[in-house]
Amino acid sequence: MGVLAVAAAHAALAQPAATPAAASAPPSAASAPPRAAVPATAGQRVDVTGGRESDSDQRRQSTAAKIVIGREEIERFGDSTVGEVLKRLPGVTSAGPPGRGGPPRMRGLGGGYTQILIDGQRAPAGFSVDQLTPEQLERIEILRAPTAETGARAIGGTINIVTREGFKVRLNDLRLGAGFENGKVSPGLFWTRNDSDGNFVYNLTGAVFGPHSRNQSETTTLREETLPSGGQRRSRKIERQVSDNSRLGTNLNARLQWRGEGGDLLMLMPGMFATRGETRSSFDMLPGTTDANYARARSDADNQFATLRLNGTWRTRLPAEFRLELNGGSNLSRGESRSFREEFNLAGGLLRDERSDGDSLERSITLNGKLSKLLAGDHNFVSGWELEDLRREDGRVTLRNGIRSDTEFEDNLAASSSRVALYAQDEWTLNPNWSAHVGLRTERIGTRGEGAAGERPRNQSSVTTPLVHFLYKPDPKVRDQVRISLTRSYKSPTLGNLIGRRTESTDNSPTSPDREGNAALQPELATGIDLAYERYLAEGGVLSANVFARRITDYIRTRTTQDPATGRYVSRPLNVGEAFTSGVELEAKFRLDQAMAGAPRVELRSNLSLFNSRVKDVPGPDNRLDQQPRGTANIGADYRFRGTPLTMGGSLNLTPSYRTQVSQQQSVSIPSKRQFDMFALWVFNPGAQLRVNLSNLAPRDYSSDSLFDGDGVRELRSTTSRTDTNVRLGLELKL
């Protein structure tokens, strides 16, 4: 469906070059420029939005490839999480069943390959995009290739989430909402306040939310094992799990800014996020089970997590038209978890119990400086530095039947990372046809992990990344343009992966192994090329096609082996060598009447991405990168019914099934994913509107397989998860 939509759009809209008259035609709602304020009657609020470039203009004028998603598109579906907004964007995928979200991933790459920025600053470790609500966002910027200024830790790309900005107009919005799924209710309250006093402008956003859900899954494990005597031993285990999850969370963010004479700016951005959750689960062995350690089990898990952050910016003008900007930030994250599990036999007798108490503390400090100047010849020169220090401490104690686990070692383990970066970039217009963006960034990264034997190896690495972007306009009078990017980027191991602590599996097996970090991990380095063609339509909208390729060295992959000392299966991250990935991304966004004269003014949005990859040290077929699907497609439409206060729309997200050969012994199969969403918006008056969102209509079961075949053992674990439709109601008030 995505293929047809994009192809039809290119065919129907491949019209002659726009004349100046056509270029001034009214834009579509999806990309309309700022509108002038209209007179208001008494008691009505007027939102003045003039003076800012439209999303389409910001994208078109950027030399480096950038997609800008503004407030209108963020609010369109009334999503409850930022992850649900991101999944509809070109080339963005998320792991797990439909409706369950997960961290966003560009170009299908696994966790850590997509750089997440908050207001241009790297998100703190442990941060999830779902800690923010869509109501708190001003816009989302997607950069497919890194730049020297935004950072090179972006092999897949960069997502910059910009929170609500301070502006002079007074704003006081309140939103009440509730979601309903599988008999569970998830209420939420969201508030935005904006005001000014002379040169001081402030923006406050807050949320209180209580998501509740029920997850149901069934796991079948088939095992064949060659015995020392030469015979075969076969077993089957069928387990059903039902989990009730409840969470109470709150976040509060502020943007306090003072503007002085001559463009000076002082801004503070404090923020807080806190959540407390609990999960109550039951496990039952079903008929057909031939070998199990227990008949039924139950577990209780409680956790709490809090993050405090404070970022500051000072911007001032220096002599000779230089501008200096200093940014500093500090983040403190603390997490605690408690879990208790009991296993019983058929008669109800207690077989064993396990209690685990853990806590983590992560601190980060950043200090960045940027010096910029607009040079003659339309040059925009920027140089800067970045300092970052991260420290993480993990502590955990596990007791089985009241006895400490044999694999536990230190109560507390730690890891740290320090980074120093220098960069310079120049963006200029060579002539009416060509623009260039050239940058050089060098980073020195030092990590210190902690292993199971108490060793604390230090790793030092340096990464120098030249970055070149070109923008070519065959005819400056029209809106067609071509982009070329040549870049280097990298991915650092997480502090969690540098900690050598082993986490034991309840039922250790090749497909359910223990997990352990690796203190000796090295960063991955990627060399890449991007080539894109874009056509911006005269009345708003865009058609684009992008191809990319990346060569990755020191690729990190998790491998499962059997520990000869204990006989237990253990999964560890390792640097395994070279990998390659490439793909094509198509996008079409326009109004139906632009392609068909006399058609309704339906806003259409579609995108299609196809991915391919290969890991060199794994034999094919399917020796692709971890968690990378073969592609993803989205198609959506919305329409405002003339003469009524009603707007309706829908979207369809598709991800095909795929299989990954992790090693000669391991493989993973992921099913296709289909999610259909709809929304309706009823505007009562300028100060009140009701939004209804239906997510994951026509839900389907989601089944995945994990296979281990080697060393005389063949084990297949198949898990089927139930998915449900989520109904969300939201009342939006402008006070």
Output the CA torsion sign for 55, 584, 91, 633: positive
Query: How does pLDDT run across 224-258, given as a tens digit for each residue?
Result: 998 888 888 999 999 999 999 999 999 898 989 99
pLDDT band at 707 (very low <50, low <70, confident <90, very high): very high
Query: How does pLDDT run across 426-445, given as a tens digit for each residue?
Result: 998 888 899 999 999 999 98
Cβ distance 259 to 265 under 8 Å?
yes
Q: What pLDDT is attached to residue 61? A: 81
d(CA 223, CA 239): 14
Encoded tokens for 638: 């919305």
Share of the chain above pLDDT 90, in %: 51
Q: Quick one: which of 654, 581, 573, 656 has its CA closest to 611?
A: 581
d(CA 179, CA 189): 12
Q: Quick one: which of 656, 655, 574 has its CA closest to 618?
A: 574
Q: Is 573 or 43 the better-scoring residue by pLDDT?
A: 573
Q: Quick one: which of 443, 485, 529 has its CA closest to 151?
A: 443
**pLDDT at position 44 over 60:** no
Long-range contacts (CB closer than 8 Å, 24 or more residues apart) made by 297-301: 297/341, 297/342, 297/343, 297/344, 298/341, 298/342, 299/339, 299/340, 299/341, 299/342, 300/339, 300/340, 300/341, 301/337, 301/338, 301/339, 301/340
Helix (H, G, I), strand (E, B) or coil at 700: coil
Helix (H, G, I), strand (E, B) or coil at 97: coil
- Poorest-pLDDT segment among 29-33, 44-48, 369-373, 547-551: 29-33
d(CA 580, CA 612): 8
d(CA 362, CA 415): 10
d(CA 295, CA 239): 9
Mean pLDDT of the region 594-601: 90
Domains of the chain: 2-344+351-374+386-403+421-516+527-693+701-734 (2.40.170.20)
Is 0.85 surpassed by the pTM of this model?
Answer: no
Mean pLDDT of the region 60-88: 80
Average pLDDT, the chain: 85
Query: How does pLDDT run across 151-163, given as a tens digit for each residue?
Result: 888 999 999 988 8
Residues in the chain: 735
Q: What pLDDT is attached to residue 440? A: 95
